[in-house]
Structure 1
């Protein structure tokens, strides 16, 4: 049974040092690689996973999962090589993009392992397929959370069905998805989870013997229990995990950097989000597919699928008052004493500054 989940953010990005860098060798838009500093952080993170601090009783990951964006795979690759295990790509934990402006295309979506193996030979698991897919038309804050709820529920049950002896996994993702995943696991939508570069949060499943109602199977609207998946009893998914620590950075030589949280987002004066431009390509029917739960993953779902982009489709002007973007005027919470090249800087792109 799955008992422990590590969730780490990718390392320091190259476009924070040189804003002219907009892509990696993949050629996909908004896919910058790690900076040299980010590669150093990835190595430090790999050493932390391979040799957890003595006396803490931390388990070593048995399976590794990563967002398919280049910077996340780069970060995770060091751990995969250090532990000698393949890396599985999961679109369900990919970056959060705001809703696309009409007639500007869709947001980018990386390919599968067979498309990316040329850049990461002998690392990627080509047989594994994602559990959930984010909408290429973008998401509101509530839709991002719904996506992560959907992912956590199906993913945990899937791991327990396909890898019944695995107790510990590690996921490499982005700031917004790191936080939303944490809120899905704990069920606490108000928890301020930190997400600095290459930092790690650690979640442990609540004991099934606890009297805490949040650890019990969820109920459908008709009162029946979501306690069985493919004839196997489910011991809890969304809201059934404790966060033992978040945003850990003591293994990083320069500590926590470019910390981001949902407290950094804001709405415009009209209460609507400032939508983002897509990739500029014409949109053909089916270009946004798949969206939400991947085909064949229904058997692992034990809660209602409420991922609304499936129903909403692409953007409409002024739609969805819950949508939010980064505040470009927000000041760092503490004085940044690092070299200028490593300091946090504002950006004209609302999402680019935190992916």
Structure 2
């Protein structure tokens, strides 16, 4: 799949000139066929950004963290990580609304950074996870459905989506409060809902395309009430939430597709 995706990315117009990725191994590995194909024609850089990382819900444990850039560089070429990331997801978990805000803030800052780039990049490629991809589509278009589980943005393994900036998209340079590691749980607001979208708003032109993959769509994913068993999803407190612990087993055993939250 990654090889077929790489061939498809090579045909994108305008050509990809900036690449960002989640720091998790599987995302970087997915990019390898494409980045290797670019390496022969010039310098290639894959920018690693924690804000594009995986979502683990609000389960009460220290969530998995990706390998350091030093370790990743032992396995992959072309990687670069800024000393100060845009935002780092909480290791204690985040709600679905919190994930949307984290992704929206990350995109806002990333777009603003590229708007300031004197080289004027035209096409940004982002490799991320299913949950993040759904949030990304919503944050870019400014459309947040009433039902978080609505299948508005399609996610399959190695699927391709394309968003084009609106003509009026000049709001990306609008400054907002910066995320701080000293208050890591708080995500700055970028006011993206109500059709506004980050960076002035974007239009979805391609939604989860898998037509270039030999086996087409595989391992689809969408949100499906992963917090419904928590009495207080924002309280990491066993006493508060243990009373509904039976619902966890019921929810898991009756889930139609366990690849979906």
Alignment of 1:117-196 (within 5 A): 117-120=73-76, 122-125=77-80, 130-162=85-117, 164-190=119-145, 192-196=152-156
Task: Measure, in 2, the Cα distance between the counterparts of 1:114 and 1:155.
Answer: 23
Task: Measure, in 2, the Cα distance between the counterparts of 1:116 and 1:253.
Answer: 29
Name the structure 2 match of 1:222. none
Alignment of 1:43-58 (within 5 A): 43-52=3-12, 58=13
Deviation at 1:77, TM superposition (A): 1.8
Distance 1:170 1:129, change over 3 A: farther
Unaligned runs of 5+ in 2: 177-196, 242-247
SS of the residue corresponding to residue 51 of structure 2 reads helix
Alignment of 1:7-26 (within 5 A): none
Task: Measure, in 1, the Cα distance between the counterparts of 2:38 and 2:228.
Answer: 45
Deviation at 1:217, TM superposition (A): 4.0
What count of residue pairs does the alignment treat as equivalent?
223
Deviation at 1:126, TM superposition (A): 5.0
Name the structure 2 match of 1:242. 203
Name the structure 2 match of 1:331. 256
Alignment of 1:1-355 (within 5 A): 41-52=1-12, 58-84=13-39, 85-101=44-60, 104=61, 106-120=62-76, 122-125=77-80, 130-162=85-117, 164-190=119-145, 192-208=152-168, 217=171, 227=174, 237-238=198-199, 240-262=201-223, 264-268=224-228, 315-317=236-238, 318=240, 329-331=254-256, 346=258, 353=259
Name the structure 1 match of 2:182. none
Task: Measure, in 2, the Cα distance between the counterparts of 1:330 and 1:254.
Answer: 25
Task: Measure, in 2, the Cα distance between the counterparts of 1:107 and 1:119.
Answer: 23
Task: Measure, in 2, the Cα distance between the counterparts of 1:228 and 1:131.
Answer: 14
Q: Is the 8 A contact 2:23 2:67 kept in 1?
A: yes
Name the structure 1 match of 2:188. none
Q: Is the 8 A contact 1:187 1:239 kept in 2?
A: no
Task: Measure, in 2, the Cα distance between the counterparts of 1:188 and 1:198.
Answer: 23
SS of the residue corresponding to residue 45 of structure 1 reads helix
Deviation at 1:161, TM superposition (A): 1.7
Q: What RMSD, in angstroms, separates the aligned Cα atoms of the two structures?
A: 2.9
Greater share of helix: 2
Unaligned runs of 5+ in 1: 1-40, 53-57, 209-214, 219-225, 230-235, 274-311, 320-324, 333-345, 347-352
The structure showing larger relative contact order (alpha-carbon pairs under 8 Å, at least 6 residues apart) is 1
Distance 1:269 1:123, change over 3 A: closer
TM-score (norm 2): 0.75
Distance 1:127 1:137, change over 3 A: closer
